Each structure stands twice: as C-alpha cells, then as structure tokens.
Structure 1
Amino acid sequence: METTSASSIIGIIPQSMAGYWAKAGVDVQLAMDQTLTKSLLKVSRGSLDSAVSPTLAYEQLKEAKGPYASMGEKAKASAATVRALFGMPGSVYHPMVWTDSGITSWQDAKGKRIFIGPPAGSANAQITALLQAAGLKEGDYEAIKAPWGAASQSFQDGQSDVYVAALPLGSQTLSELSLSRKVHFLSLDDAQAYVPAGLGMTRAVIPAHTYPGQDNDQSAITWQTQMMLVVRKDLSDEVAYQLTKGYFEHRQDLASTNALLGQLADMPPLDGVSAPLHPGAVRYYREAGISIPAELLPQ
C-alpha cells in the first residue's frame, strides 16, 4: 500500500490501521512519501495492490486529464481497473508565510515564489485552483514544485516565500516549525471559499492559535482534500472485505487516541469516493446496513 508523508492524515491512518489489519489476517506493507498520482497508476496497472488516492486524481485518470493527459484512451481504460473501498479525509492545505516576510494576504503574494506540491501530483491542480480562488492567476507568481518531503526544508532555506503545506490540522511538524520562527496563514474570504465541483476538496478552517507560533488572531479559511483507499479490480473479495471492515470497526479507536484523526469518527463512509466500489467493500456496507449510491456499485 502506498501513501504520502508519514505525518499527514493519509499517512497516519494506514500506519495506525496496519496492526488491526494484521490481526484480521491482512499483512499490509506500507511505502511512504509517494506521489499519489503515480500510485494510482500502479494500482490501475495491477503492479500495486492498494494506495491512498486523491479523489481528483481518479477523476483525472478517468478523463485523461492533468498528469494523465498524454495517455489518452489508455488512461480511461486504466481507470476502469480501479476499485474503491472507502473515503477518508485528506490533509488541510496550510498556506503559510513567515510573519516577518511582509506578506499578510494573498494579494501580497503576487510576484512571490509559491510552493504548489510535487511535480505531476494532483496537488498542483488543487493548489493552483486555491490560488485562483484567492485572486492569483497562473503567471502572477512563480510556481515552485518539489517533493513533499523536501518542501518544508526548502521553505526554511528561503527557496519559497509561501509554503502551502498539506498536513493534518494541529500537525506537530507545523507546531515545531512555528516555534522556530513566527508564521502567518493566508486566508480566503467567505466569497472565495466556495470549492468548485470536481476538485476533490472541501472548505476547511485553521482556527487562530492552532499552532504555538501562529500570529493569526482570526481563523484562516482554506481547503481540505478528499481521499479514498483504492485497490486493483482483481484483488480478492476477502482481502477487500477485511480492509474495509477493519477500518470501520476501528476508526473510532483511531479518532479517540490521536487528536489529528478526530474527524474520522463522524465522517460519512463514502465521502470522497468516486470510483466504483470493490465487491468486497460492497459486502461490508450491505452487512452494516450502509446505503450505497447506485453509481458506486461495480458493473
């Protein structure tokens, strides 16, 4: 199973679940710090059993857009081999600047260097859309692309002016970073906060004083990604069933033992799911009495 950074929500969830899945007889080998658009492609080609996938990435694969545009009809055929198990909350985009940078609003970021995610990742499209909602068109800023793991150090080294970090709300990583030097989070206003359909995101808020070195005295409005756990179409029904069942039987445990995962307990099971469900997942949802939209049933 591939996912992104170990400190992100979608990194923490499978790490926390691995032990529970093992008790159910499913040995999950995790590969961290992956570019999830590439992970989705591996699943679609059958070279990887499972991965966390941005909702947007699957839509792009299905329509041969974004990082999959050059694949044409092959992308659409690849999407047909992907199945979903359940949705999960993604990371919150934290648009961060140093307090002493002189940047206090998105308009101040014009002409600046802004980190927009890894090369070829779906985060590029999402962060670019976030910037556009904030009033910054492509060309109004210098887009910096780098792996997630290198982005924080790059920001600290002065290689970017705005660091749009994808991390859970209350992240220890950002807490420690803010202790080294005061930070400010750029905010959308209410009129800008609407998330266009098809981006695989939802509105989110970073409350004032979430981080020790945060200077915002009001909440910052931003966006949060939506994710899903995907598997190859021919994964055994039993494995898909146990992965799904294990997650829902233990997500309350995860939420109660890790403050970063608090929203898991109340998240609707299929939020963020856009790929057809695997039959093993369908079996679990029917046993649990969970309604499944017709468009998510496998054909």
Structure 2
Amino acid sequence: MFHFKSIMLASAVSVAAAIAGIQGADAQTRVTYKSAASGTAYYQMGVELSEAIRSGTSDAVVLTLEESQGSVQNVLEVSVRQGNYVFTTPPGLVRQSQAGEGPFADRPSERYAEIRGLFPIPAITMHIVVGGDEGVIGLDDLEGKRILIGRGSFGATEAQRYIDLFEMGDRITIANAEIGSGPDALKNGQIDGFVTASSFPTPNVIETAAGMPISLVSFTDEQIEATGAARQTIPAGTYPGIDEDVQTTSLPVIAYTTTDMDDDTAYQITKTFWERRDALAQNTPWWGGIVPEMVGNIAGKIHPGAIRYYDEAGFDIPDELR
C-alpha cells in the first residue's frame, strides 16, 4: 500500500511540474526584433541586446531576431505587423511615416501613428579618417587632401553635404568612388583619408589604426550647429593614437515598438536595457556611447510602459514625448 501511495504521489508531483512548466512557457513573452542584415554591426547589436534582455528578465522576455533590408523596411512593416514588434530606425523616418512623406508618400498607413519609442541604441556616427599621427585635427586640415567619401550611403551623402556647407569643394579632392575600400586605399597611398559612418568603435577604423597612424577630424561647436545634426563625442582612447575626445555628428537610432505592446512588457524591456547597459558596454564598447540625454532624440511619443521606467529612474522626459 505504501508503495502504491508513493507511486501516486510521485505521479502527482510529475504532473504538477509539467503543468508548472507549461504555465511558465505560457508566461514567457516573445518579441520580434528587426534591425539590419546579418553580418552588420546593427545585427550584432541585436544579438547582444537579445541576450541581455533574456538574461536580465530570467527568460521572461525573449527577443527573436529577424534580418532586415534596412530602416525603411522596418518602419513599413508596422502597417502589417501585430503583437510585440520592436524595430530600429532613425527618428527622422518615423516623422516621415507619420507625415506621409519621403518613402512613405505612396504607402501611407494609419498604423504609423501607433509607433512608440523605447530607448536609444548606438548612433550612426560620422568618422573622417586621415593618415598621420596628429591625432585630432580640424576641417581646415583637410585642405589639399584626397578624400574618399564613397557613394549612396548615409556617410557619403552627409559628407557631401558638409563639403558643400563649408565650401570645401575647391580645397579638397574627392577620390573616385570606384576605389572601393577606404582602409586599403589609405594604406596603399591612393588617398589621404576616407569617410565612414557607423556606430563606434567601427571595425574599419580599428583595422586602419592597427596598420598605420591615423587622425580623426573634430568639429567645432559652431560647425556642429551649422550642420543641424546631432552632436556625438567619440571618447579619447576609442581608437589607437586618438588621445583626445573627438567632436563629430551622428544620426540617432532608436528602438521603437507600437501600441500593440502592453505597458508591462515595454517597461520590462526598457528597464532591463538600461540596467544592463554598462555590462553590454564592457563586452562591446559601442554601447558605452548611450547616455540618458539621447532619449530626447526619440521622434513621436514614448511608450507609456517606457515612460513608467523613465519616471522611476528620474530621467528628464520632455512633455511632448509623453
């Protein structure tokens, strides 16, 4: 009899454990995270963020990464996505989507009004890299140099805008975009410098600095204001030989969701991101550039769940973002 009761008790415990496991699985919140193509820095950030959220919430929230063809696609998918969808994009594209402008002019959707901000991720930062051991130089020091700015990318477009803005077209030579790789061309003496835009520290600048001395262009306060772009500081020591802070510009990038996400999930994701930010930065330095002031770069409204965390943590959130 005792043996029979022991078997029944063991069976009951097993069933209870199975039910608890099922309930635990049901309690797990799954979130789709869409950022960039596999192999890019922003996809790698997604991998790192996914692990940080998973471990920081003890598996209560799991981010599933999806490849993307870019920020425009990420925003366009808001019109058809349901549920917990998190995506990354520059805030300017959110403004355009909600105004029905730019790439969204022919594809309007009322769903764009439901986009809500969560937190900033590493910005696309302008780097103007020049051969030489000066370390930090100014725009005027580019005079007479051959600079590769590329073609078609954000960095190339922004570099050309600055060349026109500061009337540098007659003072520098724009290298043929067909040259290809900036680091290789600089090492081979085909050019004197190149422009690249990415989160920092960016691999191609690290690669260049590992093989030769480099300098970076630092903008003055007046020059940054004239560009109308967001200010970005690349801290001293980010790259070999660069022993002073570099003042440059950047294109902010934000992690967004929609009103489909419930407040508790948005709160949990946002809280975990900020609590894990320092640990993320220890593993990959590009997270170290994220500071609370960057929350102000969010376009549109911040998700109420994220607002709850920001109020608890004492962040200064402008009224227009609430």
Q: Which structure has greater helix proportion?
A: 2
Structure 2: how far apart are the matches of 1:123 and 1:12? 20
Task: Supply the AA of the counterpart residue of 2:292.
Answer: M
Retained in 1: the 8 A contact 2:156–2:195? no
Retained in 1: the 8 A contact 2:149–2:159? no
Task: Supply the AA of the counterpart residue of 1:57.
Answer: L
TM-score (norm 1): 0.69
**Alpha-carbon shift at residue 87 of structure 1 (Å):** 2.4
**Alpha-carbon shift at residue 256 of structure 1 (Å):** 4.2
User: Which residue of structure 2 aligns with residue 2 of structure 1?
Assistant: 34
Retained in 1: the 8 A contact 2:148–2:195? no
The question of 1:96 aligning with 2:129 is answered yes
User: Which residue of structure 1 aligns with residue 293 of structure 2?
Assistant: 268
- Deviations along 1:256-299, whole A, 9 cap, x unmatched? 444433233x43362321221223323333444545322212xx
Task: Supply the AA of the counterpart residue of 2:195.
Answer: V
Task: Supply the AA of the counterpart residue of 1:55.
Answer: P
User: Which residue of structure 1 aligns with residue 182 of structure 2?
Assistant: 155
Structure 1: how far apart are the matches of 2:289 and 2:238? 16
Matched residue SS, 2:251: strand
**Greater RCO structure (CA 8 Å; 6+ sep):** 1
User: Which residue of structure 2 aligns with residue 211 of structure 1?
Assistant: 239
Task: Supply the AA of the counterpart residue of 2:267.
Answer: Y
Relative to structure 1, the CA distance from residue 35 to residue 132 in structure 2 (aligned partners, 3 Å threshold; closer, same or farther) is: farther
User: Which residue of structure 2 aligns with residue 192 of structure 1?
Assistant: 223
Task: Supply the AA of the counterpart residue of 2:225.
Answer: Y
Structure 1: how far apart are the matches of 2:110 and 2:262? 21
Alignment of 1:216-295 (within 5 A): 221-264=247-290, 266-268=291-293, 270-295=295-320
Relative to structure 1, the CA distance from residue 206 to residue 94 in structure 2 (aligned partners, 3 Å threshold; closer, same or farther) is: farther
Task: Supply the AA of the counterpart residue of 1:20.
Answer: A
Relative to structure 1, the CA distance from residue 3 to residue 177 in structure 2 (aligned partners, 3 Å threshold; closer, same or farther) is: farther
Relative to structure 1, the CA distance from residue 106 to residue 54 in structure 2 (aligned partners, 3 Å threshold; closer, same or farther) is: farther
Which has the higher Rg, Structure 1 or Structure 2?
A: 2
Relative to structure 1, the CA distance from residue 238 to residue 191 in structure 2 (aligned partners, 3 Å threshold; closer, same or farther) is: closer
Alignment of 1:16-35 (within 5 A): 16-23=48-55, 24=57, 25-31=60-66, 34-35=69-70
TM-score (norm 2): 0.65
Task: Supply the AA of the counterpart residue of 1:90.
Answer: A
User: Which residue of structure 1 aligns with residue 135 of structure 2?
Assistant: none
Structure 2: how far apart are the matches of 1:289 and 1:180? 45
Retained in 1: the 8 A contact 2:129–2:205? no
**Alpha-carbon shift at residue 247 of structure 1 (Å):** 0.7
The question of 1:40 aligning with 2:96 is answered no
**Alpha-carbon shift at residue 172 of structure 1 (Å):** 4.6
**Alpha-carbon shift at residue 246 of structure 1 (Å):** 1.3
Matched residue SS, 1:271: helix
User: Which residue of structure 2 aligns with residue 166 of structure 1?
Assistant: 197
- Deviations along 1:45-77, whole A, 9 cap, x unmatched? 4279221211232233334445x2xx4374474
Matching residue within 103, 106, 115 for 1:82: 115
- Deviations along 1:122-178, whole A, 9 cap, x unmatched? 6565444444444357xx958959xxxxx9x63356599554222344445422233
Matching residue within 191, 202, 224 for 2:231: 202
Structure 2: how far apart are the matches of 1:173 and 1:156? 7
**Alpha-carbon shift at residue 191 of structure 1 (Å):** 3.5
Structure 2: how far apart are the matches of 1:20 and 1:203? 25
Structure 1: how far apart are the matches of 2:98 and 2:156? 18
Q: Which runs of 5+ in 1 are unaligned?
A: 146-150
User: Which residue of structure 1 aligns with residue 91 of structure 2?
Assistant: 55
Matched residue SS, 2:149: strand
